[in-house]
Amino acid sequence: MKQLYFFTIAFFLSLAGFAQTDSIEHKVNALVQKMSLDEKVGQLCLKGTSSRSKGLSDELKDQVRKGLVGAILNLTDTALVLQIQKIAVEESPNHIPLLFGRDVIHGYKTIFPIPLGLAASWDTTLIEKTSEIAANESYSRCINWTFAPMVDICRDPRWGRIAESPGEDPYLASIFAKAYINGFQGNNLAEPGRILACAKHFAAYGAAEGGRDYNTVSISQNTLRNIYLKPFKSSVDAGAATFMTSFNDLNGIPASGNTFLLKDVLRTEWKFRGFVVSDWNSVTEMIPHGYCTDEKDAALKAASAGLDMEMTSQAYAHHLKTLIAENKITIAELDEMVKNILRIKFRAGIFENPYFEGREKFALLDPASLALAKSAAIKSFVLLKNEKNILPLTVQKKIAVIGPLANAPKEQLGTWIFDGNKNDSQTPLTALRNMYGTENINYVSGLTYSRDESQAIFDQAYKAAKKSEVVLFFAGEEAILSGEAHSRADIRLPGAQEELIKRLYKAGKPIVLIIMAGRPIVIEHLLPYISAVVMAWHPGTMAGPALADVLSGKENFSGKLPVTWPKTVGQIPIYYNHTNTGRPADSTSFVGIKDIPIEAWQSSLGNTSHYLDAGYTPQYPFGYGLSYTRFTYAKTTIEKNTLTKVDSLIVTTTVTNTGNRIGTETVQLYVQDVTASLVRPVRELKAFAQVELKAGETKTVRFAIAVSELGFYNNEGIYLIEPGTFNLWVSANAADGFKQSFEVK
Ligand code: GLC
């Protein structure tokens, strides 16, 4: 009887859901029927101004009045938003409301760590919560569409936009994508406080050759599908309302005109029902790409490929009507593009609530939001070195605080901070003075900004170090040195920071290097001068209190690297899920450049895949991060060693906190398909679990992975699960762990 009851409920709920979707489709179809050609083209136009403009031109108002605009970006004055929305709703021919977009990448006013830092937390609940706060704050300021999450996999820290990325791993990126989208959109796009997400940049933008932004991308189908497309598929599954195309060409065809991406994959395979917007002018940039002859050709190729909305450039506004008159684009194709947009507008509820009703209940910089920002920063920090347990600072009385990032309220916010305000920042200097007493903090910046070459205040910094027991050196990059168009060919500390560290070393006090940057920084040659290293990324508004808490030991570290950390820029691209090659290097065969005998015989060095001068291992591996305590892993048990394709791999291990304080460990499960019809990575992250353990506590960790998750796409785009031997590791990072094996039949 109970089953019947539940079935009946489920049946009527599904009917309700279907009815809701059906009513939206009905509304969309009915509205499109009433629209003129001009209005239809108008919906495809995202107009707007630079991220800093304040105005609202009469021309834009008039275009909205005529129904020639679908959405506006970067309108930051709420009064102006409501004013132009009123024009759209009350004066345009079919009263279609506008969407208002903005880059809210890691917070609106409460700024969280940059996404690469959030990724280092490996905490999807945290990421979802930060996105919800960002959505609430944005909505309160009349923004209903964010151009986030950026889910571009990146294996190249020269690329400035690695700062915005979820890192190098497709599994992590996929679950982070879902968390961001759930945080922004919630379960109901029309709920006040929620905003439309935009999965970007579709696709493979992070594979730009040489890490140089906007550069060409040439990758195989299997790499595209097994690495770069995975977080985008996850975004569709999570219900992302919109997608944004990327600036790059993919194997010769720019993403904004790429039918394979926008129709074959996104619509036909993945059944995406939202709409696709171009990136800034990326439609007309297909002309300099050398893919389109002129603006009209760009409009044709973008529309034919399935690009729904054009950001800022005007190819659609100028040429779509002509292309339709010439029957190069059909009315049916145009209607499909318009329907994709209207469908999202109806789902967003802006026909019923165009004026952001309910926004007044969301505050900016709410204490709970700031507390979350501090917690997020703490979880994002990665402890990379801690010689002689110099950290935490429990015994030191006099502390030297030195470096260009110690008191840099703007820089600590990181890239893509359109609405964050440095006046809201709490810096490390302030927080450490509050924690230890100003009289115990000897502060000298040493350099006035990260690129500063002047050594004029080195002496003062040296004296501050000399009269202290420990030096906290806050190094790194100004925010402008990462993010869009800010790739670096040399990823060491900029300016004279290295020289200052070496000068301070002569004071004979231990140095703790705290790096605030948008990317891993090459520090191999500095390590002999450094006792401890903390990667803080750009931690956001609450950088100071968060760093004071971990440096003092009030809080423990738990962050793990979401990207491989290179020894030198020459190793790049370097990432953990690489293939083995036919001549993998190992410690028994490798001879470093300093150890090569004079007049060594040509083939005497072991012909394997390595660099004579940089070896074959990174500085720090993916998934690496230390704690103030220690964890040991017992031997892993595999429930069944021979599995079929419909089975699940069940793996259990126990983890013990063998240190003397509580800590959180991120236990990682890696799998290797040893032999397959395509060479497969030496390891792939397939699951992880975060376990908090008190001193001496032991917990059991159990993983259940469907064998269907162990497959891969081949170069024909076919997903294969092939029988054979698989290896697995349960470990603390991508380089550690005890190898065990199982079979798939
Ligand atoms: C930029 C970025 C994109 C951003 C858009 C709007 O060029 O590539 O990520 O969302 O323009 O600002």
Does ligand 1 come within 6 angstroms of the Cβ of 355? no
pLDDT < 70 regions, the chain = 1-22, 50-53
The whole-number pLDDT of residue 5 equals 60
Q: Which of 147, 161, 202, 310 to mutate to test the pocket of ligand 1 (most atoms within 8 A of CB)?
A: 147
pTM equals 0.96
Nearest Cα residue to atom 11 of ligand 1: 280
CA of 388 to the centre of ligand 1 (A): 45
C-alpha dihedral (561, 563, 567, 573), degrees to nearest 10: 170
3-state secondary structure 34-100: HCCHHHHHHHCEEEECCCCCCCCCHHHHHHHHCCCCCEEECCCCHHHHHHHHHHHHHHCCCCCCCEE
In this predicted structure, what is the pLDDT of residue 395?
84
Measured by CA distance, the residue closest to atom 10 of ligand 1 is 147
Q: How far is the CA of 148 from the centre of ligand 1 (A)?
A: 9
CATH of the domain at 702: 2.60.40.10
Question: Token pair for residue 363?
Answer: 């505050």
Any domain includes 57: yes
Q: Closest Cα partner for 166 from 111, 105, 221, 219?
A: 105
Ligand 1 centre from 29 Cα, in Å?
A: 31
Is 25's C-beta closer than 6 angstroms to any atom of ligand 1?
no
User: What is the distance in A from the centroid of ligand 1 to the CA of 449?
Assistant: 27
- List the strands of the sheet with 663-673, edge to edge: 642-643, 740-744, 724-731, 663-673, 684-693
147 lines ligand 1 (CB under 6 A): yes
Q: Is the CB of 103 under 6 A from ligand 1?
A: yes
In this prediction, residue 8 carries a pLDDT of: 61
Q: 200: CA distance to ligand 1 center in Å?
A: 9
- Distance, CA of 177 to CA of 151 (rounded, Å): 6
| Ligand 1 centre distance from Cα of residue 515 (Å) | 27
Asked if residue 684 belongs to a domain, the reply is: yes
Closest atom of ligand 1 to 201 CA is 9
Q: Which atom of ligand 1 approaches the CA of 101 most closely? A: 6
Name which residue sits closest to atom 8 of ligand 1, judged by CA: 279
Tell me which residue has its CA closest to atom 12 in ligand 1: 103
Residue 631 beta carbon below 6 angstroms from any ligand 1 atom: no
What's the total number of domains in the chain? 2
Which of 53, 161, 279, 282 most suits a substitution to test ligand 1, by most atoms within 8 Å of the C-beta? 279
**Cβ of residue 484 lying under 6 Å from some atom of ligand 1:** yes
Nearest ligand 1 atom to the CA of 148 is 10
Number of Cβ within a 10 Å radius of residue 230: 21
**Whole-angstrom Cα distance, residue 585 to residue 606?**
8
Q: Looking at residue 549, what DSSP letter applies? A: H
Of 518, 502, 626, 519, residue with least CA distance to 569: 519
Considering the domain boundaries, does residue 342 fall inside one? yes
CB 168 within 8 A of CB 154: yes
Cα gap 248→102, rounded to integer Å: 21
The response to whether residue 214 sits with its C-beta less than 6 Å from ligand 1 reads: no
Reported as a single tens digit per residue, the pLDDT across 375-412 is 999 999 999 999 999 999 998 889 999 999 999 999 99
Question: 212, 487 in Cβ contact below 8 A?
Answer: yes
CA dist., res. 605 & res. 625, Å (int): 33
| CATH assignment at residue 57 | 3.20.20.300
Q: Please choose, from the candidates 106, 246, 128, the residue with its C-alpha nearest in 3D space to the C-alpha of residue 179.
A: 128
Distance 565 CA to ligand 1 centre (A): 27
Determine the Cα–Cα distance for residues 524 and 735; give it in Å rounded to an integer. 18
Q: How far is the CA of 287 from the centre of ligand 1 (A)?
A: 19
- The structure tokens listed for 521 are 């920084």
d(CA 540, CA 254) in angstroms, rounded, equals: 34
E strand residue ranges, 229-319: 242-245, 249-250, 253-254, 275-277, 310-311
Distance 280 CA to ligand 1 centre (A): 6
* Shortest-distance Cα residue to atom 3 of ligand 1: 279
Task: Answer whether 419's CB lies under 8 Å from 109's CB.
Answer: yes
Whether residue 280 has its Cβ less than 6 Å from ligand 1? yes
Q: Which of 103, 285, 482 to mutate for ligand 1's pocket (most ligand atoms within 8 Å of CB)?
A: 103
- Measured between alpha carbons, how far is 681 from 482 in angstroms, rounded to an integer? 29
Provide the pLDDT for residue 13: 55
Shortest-distance atom of ligand 1 to CA 247: 8
Asked whether the beta carbons of 100 and 139 are under 8 A apart, the reply is: no
Query: Ligand 1 in contact with 164 (CB < 6 A)?
Result: no
How far is residue 598's CA from residue 491's CA, in Å, rounded to a whole number? 32
Q: What DSSP state is assigned to residue 283?
A: T
Protein residue closest via CA to atom 7 of ligand 1: 280
Q: How far, in Å, from the CA of 351 to the mean position of ligand 1?
A: 27
Domain that holds residue 113: 39-361
Distance 690 CA to ligand 1 centre (A): 33
- Tell which of 345, 361, 377 closes a domain: 361
213 lines ligand 1 (CB under 6 A): no
Mutate which of 75, 105, 280, 285 for ligand 1 pocket (most atoms within 8 A of beta carbon): 280
Please tell me the distance between residue 279's alpha carbon and the centre of ligand 1 in angstroms.
6
| 285 Cβ inside 6 Å of ligand 1 | no
648 assigned to some structural domain? yes
Answer yes or no: are the C-beta atoms of 331 and 300 closer than 8 Å: no
Using CA atoms, how far apart are residues 405 and 162, in angstroms rounded to an integer?
Answer: 20
- Whole-angstrom Cα distance, residue 147 to residue 200? 7
Determine the pLDDT at residue 2. Answer: 55
Residues 6+ apart with CB under 8 A from 655: 631, 632, 633, 634, 665, 667, 691, 693, 698, 699, 701
* Any ligand 1 atom below 6 A from CB of 416: no
Q: Is 611's C-beta closer than 6 angstroms to any atom of ligand 1?
A: no
307 within domain boundaries: yes
Contact 541, 424 (CB under 8 A): yes
For residue 3, is it within any domain? no
Domain boundary among 313, 330, 361: 361
3-class SS of residue 13: helix
φ, ψ (nearest 5 deg) of residue 375: -60, -40
Q: Identify whether 397 is part of a domain.
A: no
Given ligand 1 and candidates 245, 415, 484, 486, which is best to mutate, with the most ligand atoms within 8 Å of its CB? 484
Instruction: Please name the residue whose Cα sits nearest to atom 1 of ligand 1.
Output: 280
Active site residues per annotation: 279
Distance CA(403)–CA(534), nearest Å, equals 14
Give the domain-ending residue among 361, 393, 423: 361
Residue 412 domain flag: no
279 lines ligand 1 (CB under 6 A): yes
What span, in angstroms and rounded, lies between the C-alpha atoms of 387 and 369? Answer: 35
Q: How many residues does the chain have?
A: 745
191 Cβ inside 6 Å of ligand 1? no
List strand residue ranges (DSSP E) for 574-662, in order. Answer: 631-633, 637-638, 642-643, 648-657
